[in-house]
Amino acid sequence: MFTRPVVIALVAALLAGLGLMAGKRVFDRASASPWPATRAVELHAPREVSAFNLAQSDGTRLVPGELRGHWTLVYLGFTACPDVCPTALAELAQAQKRWQALPEATRPRLLFVSVDPERDSPARAGEYARAFHRDSLAASGDLPALENFAGALHLVFGKVPGKHFDENPNDYAVDHSASIAVLDPEGRLAGLIRPPFDPAAIADDMTLLTKAPVP
């Protein structure tokens, strides 16, 4: 039998490997990007995203049509995340402030999706995301819906039990992809932003893409 530290290490390694494989599949299959050259966003030919259905923090459903009309950055995380999520959302909030002057009708959006359905309701995810920037969107769902959504964006996540999980079912973390999926105004998967994040470069890229024609 594996010890708990070994199991956790194996899960983390598996998630990292799956993330790298998923990203490699996206870019290996991609033809030349139709978009302008960017610094932080790794673009590829846009591809349709399979159907998904999550609950948004405002009580409405998040379905593919809801993500049309704007460039959207999708970040997976959870509200009990001790460091990675708050750091990433704080950096993304800096980018959001930089593109704030763009018209609201076309302004890029940040969507935070909690992949911890046991502890994070959609409303809780929304409160958390908006604490970093008031314009952030948030959603969550049950585990099958979240797995379907993450898979559609070539992202991964998984529950990692803590040392005292047997005595305390809330003693766990959630490993998840650190990269950000980038959706174009047609709701298609168009690229990826890998850490470390550069808020200025992200904002410049998203401003440029917002002003570019959609192929």
Report the DSSP pairing between strands 109-114 and 72-77: parallel
Q: What pLDDT does 15 receive?
A: 52
- What single-letter amino acid sits at 20? L
> What CATH number is associated with residue 78?
3.40.30.10
For 201, the domain range is: 4-211
**Whole-angstrom distance, CA of residue 201 vs CA of residue 167:** 45
Kindly provide the b/e burial profile for residues 83-113, where b requires at least 16 CB atoms within 10 angstroms of the residue's own CB: eebeebbebbbbbbebbeebeeeebbbbbbb
- pLDDT tens digits for range 22-38: 444 444 444 578 999 99
- What single-letter amino acid sits at 46? P
Q: What pLDDT does 26 receive?
A: 45
- pLDDT tens digits for range 50-99: 999 999 999 999 999 999 999 999 999 999 999 999 999 999 999 999 99
Q: What pLDDT does 32 receive?
A: 74
Q: Cβ of 166: how many Cβ atoms within 10 Å?
A: 10
Q: Cβ of 37: how many Cβ atoms within 10 Å?
A: 9
Is a pLDDT exceeding 50 seen at residue 7?
Answer: no
Strand partners, 183: 72, 189
Q: What pLDDT does 57 receive?
A: 98
Domain count, the chain: 1
- pLDDT tens digits for range 166-210: 999 999 999 999 999 999 999 999 999 999 999 999 999 999 999
Please classify residue 16 by burial: count the beta carbons closer than 10 Å to its beta carbon, then call 0-12 exposed, 13-18 middle and 19+ buried. Answer: middle
Q: What pLDDT does 37 receive?
A: 95
